[in-house]
């Protein structure tokens, strides 16, 4: 790492800080004679979740997503402590001050100086031809693309007799969002030569548009081509969805200038108004994590003779997507992925049974 | 394909149409006693380009990009014929009517009823530690990620004695754009089980933000985190760049509504104004392919305590990027990719020597 110019010393320091913060949480809990089991990422599983009365995630927002991913019990509280405040925004965690004074958080919990916050989550049904593979047990290492595909094809053909293509409820609940898009291959070649002219041995398309059909709230199916579809929760409205949809100060200024000129408007166009409009617009993209509604966004929609996009985004209760992709997937919270190729149909919705129980401490 | 529900008959038909269109072009040229060599994608190389006086690409815009990618001679005309009008917009090709009446195009060329159009292209310099691999000759098939990395590491260490890290001019010229971003891995697992609960064997992050530093027109370096950086030409301003930057009718309407309310403006807000503003804004994203200037866009910039983004997009003569990425690349015209990891510095600019010679027929 150091050879590459990476900040190895910085990484080591952050690890030290994290470890110290974890110790602090452990000590605080054990001082209250609360039995604590410390598990790392790879040991964390549903059995551990069942054993616990509550789960504390020690890390950043990513660790919270991982912690939540194994919790399916609406009444199992998950509390996030941000042990890496320099690096993580900690949207899903307790305010940063509790990281160094966790006993204070514990006292508030004892005294009832908090309220439950049920963060709604998204569930996924999958159906269609060719989506009924038996589980392929892959190790936590990289298979070659070829080996991986072969494994799937073999399984799929073996299972054709029991081809039950009714909707399957996938064993995941999205706390942030579901993202659907073409898989992007890592097959690339570094072809730099010092002295000779370079001959790329193969080319590939890194950015491939995703083709699919979408139906919102049981509305008519619409063919679309875009850089992907994001369906988020109130929790996720602050995450990737926000970055997809927010407008830049610069763009708002340009739009208002054009409107002023073309509408022959008598508009006092100053920085204050631009900032106000930008902030209000961007804030309207966020909503309460407890609201049982989803927000869908189409990323970089391609509009031409064939494809249309009546609405680029909006709230909905249900989104159905029919894949017309070659090599796409559905990604849950940036962490788990499901194959989603031509012929597969996904139904996406919120069920309040799936909510995640978290806490909001009184301030 | 048919088993998957794909439109095999449709694919076959498009291939038939394409083949017929290619025959028409060949016949038209040979009728004029012009010597024609028909080459497919894999046979097309710089030797073929040298042999020809001009190159006709028969396909869609993608084929034009491929054709252009082997041409480094400013005076070697490249003419695109859109043999797949149902599927390709044909921005880089002659108007669609010449696809079926190519002799008409030939006559115009003979009579001088055309003008030369020099489409500016972008060149790339690369420098920094760890970017001096000897060429790795990879076959046109998929290596496992592991095999690929090992190959690169071996080559890199062998070459450490001759570690010349001065700027290398890469042997590519971007006709549309350079895109810089984190490689997105295709390591995913399909984990759907019919009856049992699913245990994902491994997880990965499909959407990883790209970290880098950017300096525009030799300005101050700025740390950024985003979904990637796109630097395009006038030609490319109609392509991916357009989809990144265009605003939706819906967003303009929302912005104007907010401005009207918060600015207490007396603005007649009707659909006509919204449409006008939307069109004008989006049209302003396009510019003449012959202009020797680049347009950079930052895709989904992440703005927080650490990262800022003073300008999300703009015109420039020079863009320098220093990678802080783990596993990123620079992708040229969606077709060729170069490793661009932590420590590498890219300098991106237009040199009019690199222009591609195309034709604009008089109408």
The reply to whether residue A164 touches residue B194, judged by beta carbons under 8 angstroms, is yes
Report for A330-339, B21-30, B62-71, B176-185: range of highest mean pLDDT: B21-30
SS3 (DSSP) at A125: strand
In contact, B80 and B235? CB cutoff 8 Å: no
- Residue B308: predicted pLDDT: 66
Q: Is the pLDDT of residue A228 over 50?
A: yes
Mean of the pLDDT values across residues A165-189? 73
Percent over 90 (pLDDT), chain A: 53
The reply to whether residue A338 touches residue B139, judged by beta carbons under 8 angstroms, is no
Weakest mean pLDDT among A122-131, A223-232, B186-195, B329-338 = B186-195
CA dihedral for B316, B322, B327, B332, sign (positive or negative): positive
| Residue of chain B with shortest Cα separation from A172 | B198
- Residue A137: predicted pLDDT: 26
Query: How far does A218 lie from chain B, in Å, by closest CA?
Result: 21
- Residue A201: predicted pLDDT: 27
The reply to whether residue B267 touches residue A280, judged by beta carbons under 8 angstroms, is no
d(CA B66, CA B172): 11
Q: Is the pLDDT of residue B97 over 70?
A: yes
Mean of the pLDDT values across residues A19-26? 96
- The residue behind tokens 């100053």 is A270
| pLDDT classification of B16: cutoffs 50, 70, 90 | very high
- The residue behind tokens 């207490």 is B264
Mean of the pLDDT values across residues A204-211? 60
The reply to whether residue B198 touches residue A135, judged by beta carbons under 8 angstroms, is yes
The reply to whether residue B263 touches residue A267, judged by beta carbons under 8 angstroms, is yes
Mean of the pLDDT values across residues A98-115? 96
Contacts 24+ apart (CB under 8 A), A216-219: A216/A296, A216/A311, A216/A314, A216/A316, A216/A318, A216/A319, A217/A316, A217/A317, A217/A318, A217/A319, A218/A318, A218/A320
Reported as a single tens digit per residue, the pLDDT across B110-153 is 999 999 999 999 999 998 866 633 322 222 323 344 444 444 44
d(CA A93, CA A67): 12
* Element housing A330 (H / E): strand A328-332
How many angstroms separate the Cα of B336 from the Cα of each of A188, A202, A301, B129, B342? Answer: 8, 8, 24, 22, 20
- Residue B204: predicted pLDDT: 32
- Residue A309: predicted pLDDT: 66
| Residue of chain B with shortest Cα separation from A280 | B258
Closest by Cα among A21, A114, A123 to A74: A123
- Residue B3: predicted pLDDT: 60
- Residue among B144, B197, B206 minimizing CB distance to A171: B197
Percent over 70 (pLDDT), chain A: 79
What's chain A's average pLDDT? 81
Q: Is the pLDDT of residue A139 over 50?
A: no
Reported as a single tens digit per residue, the pLDDT across B220-278 is 999 888 888 999 999 999 998 998 999 999 999 999 999 999 887 777 888 999 999 99
| Residue of chain A with shortest Cα separation from B239 | A302
A162 vs B203 pLDDT, higher one = A162
Weakest mean pLDDT among A86-90, A98-102, A230-234 = A86-90
The reply to whether residue B244 touches residue A186, judged by beta carbons under 8 angstroms, is no
- Residue B146: predicted pLDDT: 43
| pLDDT classification of B62: cutoffs 50, 70, 90 | confident
Mean of the pLDDT values across residues B187-204? 26
**DSSP character at residue A250:** H
d(CA B306, CA A15): 19
- Residue A296: predicted pLDDT: 97
- Residue among B191, B248, B338 minimizing CB distance to A338: B191
- For A167-181, the DSSP string reads PEEPS--BSSEEEEE
How many angstroms separate the Cα of A49 from the Cα of each of A43, A69, A77, A124, A312? Answer: 11, 10, 10, 22, 39
B244 vs B188 pLDDT, higher one = B244
- Residue among B89, B147, B200 minimizing CB distance to A336: B200
- Residue A305: predicted pLDDT: 61
Contacts of B28 (CB under 8 A, 6+ apart): B102, B103, B106
| pLDDT classification of B55: cutoffs 50, 70, 90 | very high
- Residue B1: predicted pLDDT: 63
Q: Is the pLDDT of residue A100 over 60?
A: yes
The reply to whether residue B277 touches residue A263, judged by beta carbons under 8 angstroms, is yes
Query: How far does B304 lie from chain A, in Å, by closest CA?
Result: 8
- A/B interface, count of CB pairs below 8 Å: 289
Query: How far does A32 lie from chain B, in Å, by closest CA?
Result: 34
Q: Is the pLDDT of residue A105 over 90?
A: yes
User: Half-sphere exposure of B43 toward its Cβ, with a 13 Å CA cutoff?
Assistant: 5
- Residue B128: predicted pLDDT: 84
| Residue of chain A with shortest Cα separation from B124 | A192
d(CA B60, CA B80): 8
| pLDDT classification of A300: cutoffs 50, 70, 90 | confident
In contact, B118 and B292? CB cutoff 8 Å: no
Mean of the pLDDT values across residues B273-292? 96
CA dihedral for A74, A76, A81, A82, sign (positive or negative): negative
Q: Is the pLDDT of residue B2 over 70?
A: no
Q: What's the 3-state SS for chain B?
A: CCCCCCCHHHHHHHHHHHHHHHHHHHHHHHHCCCCCCCCCHHHCCHHHHHHCCCEEEEECHHHHHHHHHCCCCCCCCEEEEECCCCCCCCCCCCCCHHHHCHHHHHHHHHCCCEEEEEECCEEEEEEECCCCCCCCCCCCCCCCHHHHHHHHHHHHHHHHHHCCCCCEECCCCECCEEEEEECCCCCCCCCCCCCCCCCCCCCCCCCCCEEEEEEECCCCCEEEEECCEEEECCCHHHCHHHHHHCCCHHHHHHHHHHHHHHCCCCCCCCHHHHHHHHHHHHHCCCCCCCCCCEEEEECCCCCCCCCCCCCCEEEECEEEEEECCCCEEEEECCCEEEECCCCEEEEEEECHHHCEEEEEECC
**Annotation: CATH topology of B122-235+289-351:** Tumour Suppressor Smad4 (2.60.200)
| pLDDT classification of B88: cutoffs 50, 70, 90 | confident
d(CA A340, CA B290): 41
**DSSP character at residue A234:** T
Reported as a single tens digit per residue, the pLDDT across A52-71 is 999 999 998 889 999 999 99
CA dihedral for A319, A320, A322, A323, sign (positive or negative): positive
| pLDDT classification of A103: cutoffs 50, 70, 90 | very high
A73 vs B325 pLDDT, higher one = A73
d(CA B349, CA A79): 49
Closest by Cα among A170, A287, A301 to A226: A301
DSSP H helical ranges for chain A: 8-31, 46-51, 61-69, 97-100, 102-110, 145-158, 240-245, 249-262, 271-283
Q: Is the pLDDT of residue A218 over 70?
A: yes
The reply to whether residue B277 touches residue A258, judged by beta carbons under 8 angstroms, is yes
The two beta strands, B55-59 and B78-82, are parallel
B79 vs A180 pLDDT, higher one = B79
SS3 (DSSP) at A88: coil
CA dihedral for B304, B310, B313, B317, sign (positive or negative): negative
Closest by Cα among A120, A66, A79 to A361: A79
d(CA B295, CA A225): 24
Query: Would you tell me how many other CB atoms lie within 10 Å of the CB of residue B19?
Result: 12
Which residues in A lie closer than 8 A to residue B267 (C-beta atoms)? Answer: 259, 263, 265, 267
- The residue behind tokens 């000779």 is A196
Which residues in A lie closer than 8 A to residue B187 (C-beta atoms)? Answer: 142-143, 186
d(CA B311, CA B105): 44
| pLDDT classification of A253: cutoffs 50, 70, 90 | very high
- Residue B131: predicted pLDDT: 63
The alpha carbon of A233 is separated from its chain's Cα centroid by a whole number of angstroms, namely 10
The reply to whether residue B145 touches residue A338, judged by beta carbons under 8 angstroms, is no
The C-alpha angle with vertex A320 and arms to A316 and A323, in degrees rounded to 5, equals 140
- Residue among B5, B185, B265 minimizing CB distance to A343: B5
Query: Would you tell me how many other CB atoms lie within 10 Å of the CB of residue A196?
Result: 9
In contact, A173 and A70? CB cutoff 8 Å: no
A5 vs B129 pLDDT, higher one = B129
- Residue A94: predicted pLDDT: 96
Q: Is the pLDDT of residue B37 over 80?
A: yes
Q: Is the pLDDT of residue A159 over 80?
A: no
| Residue of chain A with shortest Cα separation from B337 | A188
The reply to whether residue A194 touches residue B168, judged by beta carbons under 8 angstroms, is yes
| pLDDT classification of A90: cutoffs 50, 70, 90 | confident
Which residues in A lie closer than 8 A to residue B11 (C-beta atoms)? Answer: none
**DSSP character at residue A2:** T
d(CA A55, CA A64): 10
């Amino acid at each position: 790492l150091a050879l590459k110019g990476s900040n190895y010393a910085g990484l080591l320091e952050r690890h030290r800080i994290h470890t110290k913060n974890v110790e602090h949480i452990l000590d605080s809990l054990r001082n209250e004679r609360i039995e604590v089991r410390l598990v790392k990422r790879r040991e964390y599983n549903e059995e551990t979740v069942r054993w616990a009365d509550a789960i504390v995630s020690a890390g950043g927002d990513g660790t919270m997503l991982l912690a939540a991913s194994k919790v399916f019990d609406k009444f199992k509280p998950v509390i996030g402590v941000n042990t890496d405040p320099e690096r993580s925004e900690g949207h899903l965690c307790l305010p940063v001050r509790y990281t160094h004074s966790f006993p204070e958080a514990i006292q508030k919990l004892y005294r009832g100086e908090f309220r439950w916050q049920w963060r709604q989550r998204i569930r996924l049904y999958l159906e269609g031809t060719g989506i009924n593979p038996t589980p392929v047990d892959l190790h936590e290492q990289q298979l070659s693309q070829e080996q991986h595909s072969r494994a799937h094809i073999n399984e799929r053909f073996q299972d054709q007799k029991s081809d039950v293509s009714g909707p399957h409820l996938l064993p995941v609940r999205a706390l942030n969002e579901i993202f659907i898009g073409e898989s992007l291959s890592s097959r690339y070649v570094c072809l730099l030569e010092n002295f000779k002219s370079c001959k790329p041995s193969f080319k590939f398309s890194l950015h491939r548009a995703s083709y699919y059909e979408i139906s919102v709230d049981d509305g008519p199916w619409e063919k679309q081509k875009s850089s992907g579809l994001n369906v988020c929760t109130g929790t996720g409205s602050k995450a990737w969805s926000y970055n997809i949809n927010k407008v830049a100060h610069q763009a708002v200024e340009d739009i208002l200038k054009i409107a002023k000129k073309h509408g022959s408007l008598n508009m006092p166009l100053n920085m204050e108004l631009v900032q106000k409009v930008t902030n209000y617009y961007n804030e309207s993209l966020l909503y309460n994590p407890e609201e049982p509604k989803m927000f869908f966004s189409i990323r970089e929609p391609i509009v031409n003779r064939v494809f249309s996009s009546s609405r680029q985004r909006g709230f909905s209760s249900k989104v159905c997507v029919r894949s017309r992709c070659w090599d796409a997937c559905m990604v849950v919270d940036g962490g788990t992925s499901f194959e989603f190729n031509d012929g597969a149909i996904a139904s996406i919705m919120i069920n309040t049974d799936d909510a995640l129980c978290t806490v909001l401490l009184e301030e």
